[in-house]
Structure 1
Amino acid sequence: MSDDDKNPGREVIADYAQTHFRYFRTADGTVYAQRNGHPVARPIRSQGTTGSHRQELMVGLFKDGVGVFNGTALKEALDLIEALALSEDVQPVHIRVAPGFDGATWLDLGRNDGRSVRIHPTGWDITVPDPREVCWRRTQLTGELPLPAKGTDGKGIDLLLGLCNFATAETECLAIAWLIGCLAPGVPVPAPFLTGPQGAGKSTGGRMLIRIIEGMSGDLRRAPKDEENLIAAVAAGWVTALDNLSHMTPDLSDAMCCIVTGAENVKRALFTDGDVFRARYRRPLLLTGIDVGVIRPDLAERLLPLRLERPRVRRTEAELWTEYAEALPVVLGSLLDLTVKVRAITAETPTDLRMADFAHLCAQLDAATGLGALRAYRASLDDLNDDVIEGDLLAQTVLLHAESMPSGTEQRMTSTEWLHALSRLYSGEDCRPLPKGWPTTGKVLSDRLKRLQPTLAARGVLMDSGRTFEGRYLELARPAPPQPEQQQAF
């Protein structure tokens, strides 16, 4: 054969790749490769040391006897494939959980054979998803889950609660509700905050909860020192667990709010001047710690306090985790059974809670089991509001001022006038100095009060703002308590 009849290496690679792989793009323009019949997709530009598409393409070419090619031929072939894939249909990729067809959701078991759990309205099955329905994206944080057990009759939930040191039954039902919420890709769930005295097993309990979703390789990690590293860790997994928090900066608090309810991060793409890289994320978050100090009001509405107690009998780590690993298939099977049962229930959505999706989930869980999860969720939010008020002297002063107002009245002043009135009230007759962090201008006061609005409203004090011809104002109102409905005479 003459040299003119030989195919260049890039053409041989491109023909082989398009025969054995499916290439598509996501909404942000990233091109992924998916082996025919397998649900796992890999970005073709990944340069990771393990599991990149470049590596699986090289291995496939070698094992099928096509040949071994140099880096230039591989690069040129992948450049061509990427250009061609940009004209293909857009399809999303998912980590760990994904929506499916006909109201189903999927759970990636992280297995090499691609088997996953399909949760549908009539039950759940273990099968390999159609690549057109679900495309899994895996990273080094994607651990392998055991095959869940069928016909557990709820024994797995009892096994899990027996291994954890939850202090009350209310805490147990909130933990179960959170685990069910983690299996729903479209439901934002509050972040469990495992608290308790030293030695209560907070870190161990946190590991047990996340390993039901992430497998035995799932673990806790220290909070990154900057937001960029935190977002990178969040985007690479499903459940993010931060251990032993003792202090929460305003930046970290804001980042956690974004993780729970969803946000997008945009930064300049590497080696470019005008292109950008977009990272969307909304993930379940779990925290552990004895005390994190003052909690900001916006984060408090997104937390789920789970209190643990010290165990009466201590066990070795090896003994505890051996029992947990043996129970995990049963635990996962029972959780899936309960998830199907809860999703089949119709319940009214509470309209007075910020995390309405999770509140609705709690109402469904109550209707299915009678555990009282919604009542426990409301009580936990009340406790968090107390924590916010105890850590904020301005909130305490506003509530003190509201107590002097007759019920059913309102008071309107400018922000500067409110600042003088609240400062005088705090200083009192002994003119004690204002604390560090006290608002220094009316604008700062107005901003602080806007953050405190939900907390004050939970204590029956409403704060509003507006503008008249005379200027802007802040209005403090203390509504009258609702009157009981008069009984109708029969």
Structure 2
Amino acid sequence: MEDTAPQIPIGLVEAVLNTPQGAGLMAGGDTHLPALHFVGEVVPFTQDVQWIKEIAAGYLPSNYAGNTLDEIPKMVSDSVKKGYDAPSKGRGRSDGPSAAQLATMIISTSEMAIFHTPQGLAYVAITTPDGGTICHPVRSEAMKGWVRLRYYLATGKTLGRDALTEALDLLEAKAVYTAPEDNVYLRLGGRDGNIYFDLGQADGAQVKITPTGWSIVLDGLPRFHRPNGFGMQVRPERSGNLLELRDLLQLDDKNWVLVLAFLLISLKPAHPYMVLLLSGGHGSGKSKISELVKRIIDPNALEKFRLPKDEHTLAIQAAMAWMLVYDNTSAVRWDLSDAICAMLTGGGFSTRKYYTDDEQRMFKNARPAIINGIGEFASQHDLLDRAIAIKLPPMPAGTRLTEKAINARFEAILPGVLGSLFDIVSVALRRFDEVEPPTTVRMADAAQWLIAAEPATGLPEGTFLRALEASVKEVTIENTINHPLVLALFRLLDTLGPGRTYEGTMGDLHDKLRNEHGRLDPQLPQTASHLSNALQRLAHGMAEIGLKVELLNRTNSARPLRIWIEPTEHTPEPDKIKKRLW
């Protein structure tokens, strides 16, 4: 009589008897990962779903009420698709998947999704137990730690470096070539006409701001990345009072309007953004105001930087924080000023990827920024046109609070301050397309956003626009008057008689700027070509103070220019120029 009993592979018997997952299944708690691992061990010997379910059921406690057995068909199917059913070559039985294969199988669960950004960077979105989502770059240390932990929890063993690298290599390839494309944001992101603000909390909670209000959600979209140092923000509360913040910062009405404008612009869903220039002497509170504004919008372990030396460092900093704060700045070089302008308006930066000759790493991050210092530390007019400039007076005697008292008061009012700002941003979203962008300031998009938000602030109509216009004009005039080249031109014109007019070539003008010893001030352009470029950059500010420059018709040898003074209300008196020169 023919034996029709099923033939059970000896390897299957060994796998079932020796599996380290038996304890996890018998415990009857979170059995998903032990079952997933167990399936990976037995599929090289059988893909019979009913067999595997019956074997797994034998390990589960009699009162088990979970759904792990219902998940086994999909586990078997996924394992076969990934090739875990193939026996090892040259052996009568399989030793099961490698550590890298097992790690990939363990982390490839419903709590994890992979995707890539438009720049081709691979990311993993991990669902928190509360239903929120936290994203990590596949190659990040955070992701490596997560994989190691999941592997240890599932197997009781540590994952070796080579196996970890192999698993992440495969995960990255899948994310880049087979997974969907999506944007990943840092702290603030716009999607479908709404704004999302990442609170940085463990549950992945976000503040969703719509044209009708705001709420705290766990939607998981848009996706946010939290680099090293990313700080947790408190949950906002309703019925806050922004005037409490003004009182804490000890700002007058004029400067309060400008700080509020900067806060609201920093919560826009898209660039362009602006830079807040805070100048003041010792004891004016500029560093503390910078710190507190940063803590409102983008808390971080590193609240303030020193101004970077190059564009590459600036791009890296912008990739690691939403708002950049540069403390105690003495001067902003022209090349870095151009890089900051590009960052405010969404410009990109690329550099050669390490250890390659023909690959680039691209940075494209639009960010608001704060720069503080003493005096006129920023003089480039492109930057000033994108700036909200505030001069802080010294704090009156007897009004200074201790650091401890300021921080305690700030923490008490912060939830209400956030809620009030989100209320205003909601109104800005609702009204933005209804208001006309102004034509009197360069950053028209930012000004349009403020005009849309203004009714919710309680300020009189037109307050924000007038404040922006006055701020840009005031700082442009002040920086132009104090510019070494402008002072040198006034001094030259004062030596040319009552007409105070110069006509000649750029080379001749460059020579005339030398002192009586034939030396050129090191702060002045060192060549005629540099002088020409400097005059073009300063033309707007010089016109405001009545210093006119006109290029005349070209001659056979050169193109002459004429410089003269047409007094305006902002033209400095000769005596004041002499005092500045001294």
The answer as to whether partners of 2:549 and 2:563 remain within 8 angstroms in 1 is yes
Please, which moves more after superposition, 284-293 or 224-233? 224-233
Q: Write out aligned runs for 1:109-124 (5 A).
A: 109-124=199-214
Which stretches in structure 2 are left out of the alignment for 5+ residues? 1-9, 12-92, 495-500, 568-582
Report the aligned-residue RMSD: 3.4
The answer as to whether partners of 1:212 and 1:332 remain within 8 angstroms in 2 is yes
Secondary structure at 2:362 match in 1: strand
The answer as to whether partners of 1:98 and 1:106 remain within 8 angstroms in 2 is yes
Counterpart of 2:175? Answer: 85
Deviation per CA, 1:32-64: give whole Å up to 9, x if none: 111145422111112x3xxx1121122123334
Given residue 258 of structure 2, which amino acid in structure 1 is its aligned partner? L
Given residue 42 of structure 1, which amino acid in structure 2 is its aligned partner? H
Q: What is the distance in 2 between the residues matched to 1:113 and 1:31?
A: 22
Q: What is the distance in 2 between the residues matched to 1:31 and 1:305?
A: 39
Deviation per CA, 1:279-320: give whole Å up to 9, x if none: 222211111222244622222222222233304423221122
Q: How many residues align?
A: 459
Counterpart of 2:410? Answer: 324
Deviation per CA, 1:15-44: give whole Å up to 9, x if none: 222224211111222111111454221111
1:281 aligns with 2:369: no
Q: Write out aligned runs for 1:26-425 (5 A).
A: 26-36=117-127, 38-46=132-140, 48=141, 52-65=142-155, 68-87=158-177, 88-101=179-192, 103-130=193-220, 133-152=221-240, 155=241, 157-166=242-251, 168-215=252-299, 217=301, 219-293=303-377, 295-309=379-393, 310-311=395-396, 312-345=398-431, 346-368=434-456, 369-370=459-460, 372-395=463-486, 417=505, 420=508
Structure-2 change in CA distance of 1:343 and 1:400 (3 Å):
farther
Secondary structure at 1:344 match in 2: helix
Secondary structure at 1:354 match in 2: coil
1:444 aligns with 2:535: no
Counterpart of 1:486? Answer: none
The answer as to whether partners of 2:379 and 2:483 remain within 8 angstroms in 1 is no
How far 1:398 sits from its partner (Å)? 6.9
Deviation per CA, 1:237-291: give whole Å up to 9, x if none: 0111111112333343333333323332222222333322112222111112222
Q: What is the distance in 2 between the residues matched to 1:135 and 1:29?
A: 15
Given residue 307 of structure 1, which amino acid in structure 2 is its aligned partner? K
Percent sequence identity is 27
Structure-2 change in CA distance of 1:255 and 1:64 (3 Å):
same
Structure-2 change in CA distance of 1:434 and 1:79 (3 Å):
closer
TM-score by length of 2: 0.70
Higher relative CO (Cα under 8 Å, sequence separation at least 6) belongs to 1
Deviation per CA, 1:136-177: give whole Å up to 9, x if none: 11012310011100233xx1x1111011022x3121011111
Deviation per CA, 1:179-203: give whole Å up to 9, x if none: 1111113132221122223212111
Structure-2 change in CA distance of 1:396 and 1:344 (3 Å):
farther
Structure-2 change in CA distance of 1:55 and 1:446 (3 Å):
same
Q: What is the distance in 2 between the residues matched to 1:435 and 1:456?
A: 20
The answer as to whether partners of 1:461 and 1:476 remain within 8 angstroms in 2 is no
The answer as to whether partners of 1:190 and 1:303 remain within 8 angstroms in 2 is yes
Given residue 357 of structure 1, which amino acid in structure 2 is its aligned partner? D
Structure-2 change in CA distance of 1:60 and 1:120 (3 Å):
same
Given residue 533 of structure 2, which amino acid in structure 1 is its aligned partner? D
Which stretches in structure 1 are left out of the alignment for 5+ residues? 404-410, 482-490
Q: What is the distance in 2 between the residues matched to 1:297 and 1:381?
A: 10
The answer as to whether partners of 1:17 and 1:57 remain within 8 angstroms in 2 is yes
How far 1:442 sits from its partner (Å)? 5.0
Q: What is the distance in 2 between the residues matched to 1:97 and 1:341?
A: 17
Counterpart of 1:484? Answer: none
Please tell me whether Structure 1 or Structure 2 has the larger radius of gyration of its CA atoms.
2
Q: What is the distance in 1 between the residues matched to 2:493 and 2:399?
A: 49
Q: What is the distance in 2 between the residues matched to 1:360 and 1:461?
A: 32
Secondary structure at 2:328 match in 1: coil
Given residue 114 of structure 1, which amino acid in structure 2 is its aligned partner? G
Structure-2 change in CA distance of 1:401 and 1:76 (3 Å):
same
How far 1:469 sits from its partner (Å)? 10
Secondary structure at 1:244 match in 2: strand
Q: What is the distance in 2 between the residues matched to 1:45 and 1:427?
A: 57
Please, which moves more after superposition, 432-441 or 469-478? 469-478
